[in-house]
Structure formats: C-alpha cells, structure tokens
Chains A and B, each alone.
Chain A
Amino acid sequence: MKYYVLRITGGLLTIFVSSLLVFSLIRLIPGDPAAELMGLAFDPELARLMRIRLGLEGSFVQQYLAWITAVFHGDFGYSFINGAPVGQEIGDRLIRTIQLLIGGVFVGILISIPAGIVSAGNKGKWQDGGIMAFTTLMLSIPQFVLGIFLIYIFAVKLHLLPAGGWTDPNDDFVQWLKSMVLPWLCVGMAMSAFTSRVLRSSILDAKNMDYTRTARSWGLSEKEISRKHVYKNASAPTLTVIGLEIGYLLGGAFVIENVFAYPGIGQLTVKAISQRDYPMIQTSILIFATGFILVNLIVDLAYGFIDPRIRQR
C-alpha cells in the first residue's frame, strides 16, 4: 500500500516540477515576443498590454500562478500565430495521438511476445538467429526511415494502404483503419525490436534460475514450469522495458506524425517550434511531459503488482 501511495505522490510532484521547468524554459528565450510580433509597428504601451495578455508581465511567481490557475480552468492561452485558443487545437489532436500510440503499443506487444518466446525457446537455432538479426536491424533503422520504407512498399508499390493522413472513423471507419495500419505498424515494429530481445533474455535467465531447477525436482512438466515460473518471472523485467519504451515512443510520435502527415500533437508541436508559437509550445510540451510521467507511473504500479518484493520498500 505504502508503495502505491509513495509512487503516486512522487508522480504528481514530478508533474508539478516539470510544469515549473517547462514554464521557466520558455521564458528563457531571448527577445521580447511582443516586440517580435509587432515588428515595425512597435509601440511600448501596446507592447505592454500585449505582454499582459500573453501572460508575460509581472514577476515569475505571478506569471506562473496566473498560468497554473488558467490551466486548471482549461485555458491554455492563445496561439501567437493565429490567436486561436490553444486548448481547442490541442484537444482533438491529443486524442488522435493517443490513438496512434496505444494502437502502436498494442501492435508492438503483439509482435514482441511471440517473437521473444519463439527465439528463447529455439535458442541457437535458425529461428533465434533470424529473429535476433532482424531486431538488430530494426534497432539501427531510424523510425522515420522505417516509416518511409513502409509507405513505399504498401502505398506506392502495392497501393494497398494510404500514404498518410487521417479520416474521421465516424465518417468512414474502413478508411480510418486503413490509414492507421502503417503508423501503428511503424510504432509497433520500432518498439518490438527491443522488447522482444529483452523478453528473450528474461526467459533465458529465468530458465536458468534455481527455482526453475527446484520446480523440475518436484516433477512438474516443462509446460507447467514455463507457465507458472518462467513466463511469470520473465514478465516483470519485460514490463519495465515496455514502460521505458513507451516513453521513447512518445518522443517518436513527433517523427512518425511527420512521416505520415498524421494530425496529432507531435505534428502540431513541431510546427509550433518552427513558428516560435510559445503558448502552443509550452502547452504541448507540458502535455507530453505529463503523459510520459503518467505512463511511467502506471508501469511502476503494475510492476509493484507483479513483484511483491518492491511493495515492501
């Protein structure tokens, strides 16, 4: 119990600190955004009003408090570029990015588990060698390259799937599904490269453990031993890795959304960065950071569920 409480409080604290960091980092940027926006029509009084509106006036603490209260009311500020409320733009995109990532992780797990089990079970044989070589390759290919390859094969050459974009599932479910396949595959393959390796090593390590030997001495069949001892014990470290991978994938969202022209938060953030749209950047990064912390928290809690020793600490 104590473990769970500690981890959750820790997570909330981290979110708080990250928001502070994100906030201060944006304010580190040299230059006066108001002046930039106004350009030649610079008027000090107007600039000051503008800064107030953009939340840039007042002491640091004042600014931060103002921002935080606004955030809790759902007001994330207004875009520098088009003046539209940030929250509105982000809302839909956030959902789409989440769909992308969750689907991708699902695909990744679907690939990794059989891959890890097969290569561990056939250690040294061609299945093992083949899977390991494939994962080494996958680890070296950058995600965007993988995405481009997939597009080339399935969209350009085979004309099976669209090269990107997004359709509202409520409008055309089949088309939506089609447009999601490649991005999901991209995320999943990138993730499975690592996860299947770790699963393989965890299974092999577990098979050599003393408790497996003991289980054999009790006359249990290899099948039973694998079921109750090997797989269960191998799942703990693999889960940790999946959690870490998801963090890595969050970063990959930027890239993948760009490759597939997928209208999610990643695409938005990159655009905002090149346009220097600070309120947008601030909020997107905060969302990413929060998402990341939450995912790690969930993984930690799940790990505590599997491994009872952690709970004691």
Chain B
Amino acid sequence: MNSPSLVSIKNLTVDFWRVPGPPALNSVSLEVAPGEAVGLVGESGSGKSTLGFAIAGLLDPNDIQLSGEILFKGQNLLKISQDEYREIRGSQIGYIFQDASSSLNPLLKIGKQLTHPLMANGGMSKADAMVRAKELLDMVEISQSGRRLNQYPHEISGGMKQRVVIAAALSRDPSLLIADEPTTALDVTVQAQIIDLLLRLKKSLSMSLIFISHDLGVVARVADRIVVMKDGNIVESGGVGQVLANPREPYTQLLLANIPKLRHVDESQSLRFWGSNGR
C-alpha cells in the first residue's frame, strides 16, 4: 500500500458479557486503504457484523468488554469520548443496515429523515438541507427525487428504500461506508442494481467500502480484497482474484462451493446445493 491506511484495526477483541463462550471478535487485525473495497465474508455468527458495528461505534459499551485498537485516519476510536465518536460516525463513517425497510421511520417523510441529521449535526439551514437531500436522492439514482422527499417509506418500493438508506448514510460525505448485507433482503435483479450503484459511488466519492455479506458471489463482484471470518477470527485474507482462484483455507473452499452454479442441471448437484444452502 502506498498511502497510509484509512482504517487500521489491531488485535481487536470484543466479548459480550451476557453471551457465554468465546468472544465475538478474537484479536482481529485488519487494514483498509483509502478508496479500497473490502469484502467481509462469513456465515452467521462469524463476527463480521460485530466488526462492522465495532468500527462504527454502534456497540453499547455497557454490553461488551473491549480491547485492542481501531485507528481511523490515525486516531484511536476506542480512546475518544462518546460525543466525539458520534461526530465521526455521522460525518466520516456511513453505515447501512441489512433490512432497509425497517431502517426508516414509518411515521416520518423521507425528506425529513434525510434533512434531520444535516440540520442537527451538520448545522445546515432547512432550505440548504432540502437541496442537499434532493441531490442525494439524485445521486443514488432515484427518479422524481423532488416528489420522493415528500413521500413516506411505505409508499416506495424495497429497492428504492435501500437507495434512500444509502443516500442517508452518504449525506455528509463520509470517507468510509460500511454496508452490512445491503442486498440480502432484495430481489436478485435489484441486488445487481444496488451493487452497481455502490461501485459507482465508491469511485465517484473516492471512499472506502467495507461490504459485509455471507454471499461470496455478491462479494466477488464488489470487493478488491476479500477477508474471510469464522468464529470471531480472520481465517483468510487476500485479493479477490487470488482468494477465489486459490482458496487456502478449507472453510473458504466450503463457502465457494456454496455459490449456486446455474450451468449444470445435474440432479445430484442441485440436490446438494439445496441441502447445503437450506436456511
């Protein structure tokens, strides 16, 4: 890497008090360069979401025992006050949760939800905030952005809601966007659109992207680098092409095998996929 990392995580351990057993994150270390897209893969319980929450500071400090460091632009996030963290979270780190439809408040208009952080934290006036909100909706390629601002979440489709959530996360031009399973709840066709959108945004806004997913196939399209997690540990890490072509760890190989292949209509093979992917 030429330039210093945007995010530098060293030996991060996160243990939930109430959950018995090994810690959710076990001495994890990770580097993310500016403008890089990192795909964080693993099954449920691997700790990938926890890692995402930890970076954004969304874990309740009362619930966890924390050790290690998270350096963001050189500053250790674990040593700053809650208020300072909040400020960084709003303006430098964007977060997208898995289920877009429940991420928006059903009782508030979309425009209101978008402008609220801009006015409260960004110090914008209402008029400026509305202009920016419209800009954001255009940026995520939502049609009739002006009209959408006055609509309620239940009046737009799932794909559009996901775009709105993305727009909200990017509203203050963050350097890092963490996307936690942003496509899992969507139709396959919409998934592709959202992925393309994210890639375009990453490029045009020059931001880093941490893409969390259990679906290796989706991650393959997005990421420059893949990081595989299992049971709170990072088991494999490397460039996309390299990991997919030559997975070193048996676990990675297992994940790869679980990507449904559309080419062969082989009875035995399709049965195997059904069984291994059954949720």
Q: Which residues of A contact B (CB under 8 A)?
A: 209-211, 213-221, 224, 228-229, 232-233, 236, 306-309, 312
Contact = CB atoms under 8 A, between A and B. Distances in A.
B154 interface: yes
B154 A312 contact: yes
B97 A236 contact: no
Interface in B140-182: 152, 154-155, 165, 168-169, 171
B: contact size bracket:
20 to 34
25 contacts: A209-B102, A211-B102, A214-B97, A215-B117, A216-B89, A217-B56, A217-B95, A217-B97, A219-B86, A219-B88, A219-B117, A220-B121, A221-B86, A224-B120, A228-B105, A229-B105, A229-B108, A232-B105, A232-B108, A307-B106, A308-B152, A308-B154, A309-B106, A309-B152, A312-B155
Query: Could you tell me the dominant secondary structure of chain A's interface residues?
Result: helix
Most buried by A among B90, B99, B120: B120
Contacts of A232: 105, 107-108
Choose among B107, B108, B152 the residue with the greatest number of A CB atoms under 10 Å from its CB. Answer: B107
Contact of A217 (B89, B91, B104, B154): B89
A238 to B, nearest CB: 13
Interface string B92-136: 001101010011111110000000110011000000000000000
Contacts of B83: 221
Contact of B91 (A211, A219, A236, A307): A219
Nearest to A230: B105
A231 to B, nearest CB: 11
A214 B103 contact: yes
B244 to A, nearest CB: 31
Contacts of A228: 105, 108, 116
B257 interface: no
B254 interface: no
A2 to B, nearest CB: 15
Contacts of A210: 97, 99, 102-103
B169 A217 contact: yes
B87 interface: yes
A221 B152 CA distance: 23
Contacts of B165: 214
Which 3 A-B pairs give the minimum distances between C-beta atoms?
Answer: A219-B90, A210-B102, A217-B95
Contacts of A220: 86, 90, 116-117, 120-121
A69 B143 CA distance: 58
B58 A217 contact: yes
A218 B168 CA distance: 8
Nearest to B109: A308
B107 A236 contact: yes
Interface in B53-108: 56, 58, 83, 86-91, 94-95, 97, 99, 102-108
A56 B203 CA distance: 86
Contacts of B99: 210
A308 B86 CA distance: 31
A234 to B, nearest CB: 10
Max chain A C-beta neighbours (<10 A), residue from B108, B165, B171 = B108
Contacts of A236: 107
A221 B120 contact: yes
A219 B105 contact: no
Nearest to B119: A224
A192 to B, nearest CB: 24
Nearest to B171: A218
Given A214-B168, A219-B87, 15 more contacts: A209-B102, A214-B97, A217-B56, A217-B94, A218-B90, A218-B169, A218-B171, A219-B89, A220-B116, A221-B120, A224-B120, A228-B105, A228-B108, A308-B107, A309-B106
A216 B94 CA distance: 11
Given A220-B117, A309-B154, A233 B105 contact: yes
Contacts of B90: 218-220
Contacts of B120: 220-221, 224
Most chain B CB neighbours (cut-off 10 Å) among A210, A215, A218, A236 = A218
B91 A216 contact: no
Nearest to A309: B154
A182 B256 CA distance: 74
A224 B102 contact: no
Contacts of B106: 211, 307-309
A233 B113 CA distance: 14
A211 B152 contact: no
Nearest to A307: B107
B112 to A, nearest CB: 8
Contact of B105 (A211, A216, A217, A224): A211
Interface in B212-236: none
A214 B94 CA distance: 10
A211 B104 contact: yes
Nearest to A229: B105
A213 B96 CA distance: 10
A308 B171 CA distance: 25
Contacts of A215: 105, 117
A236 B108 CA distance: 12
A220 B108 CA distance: 16
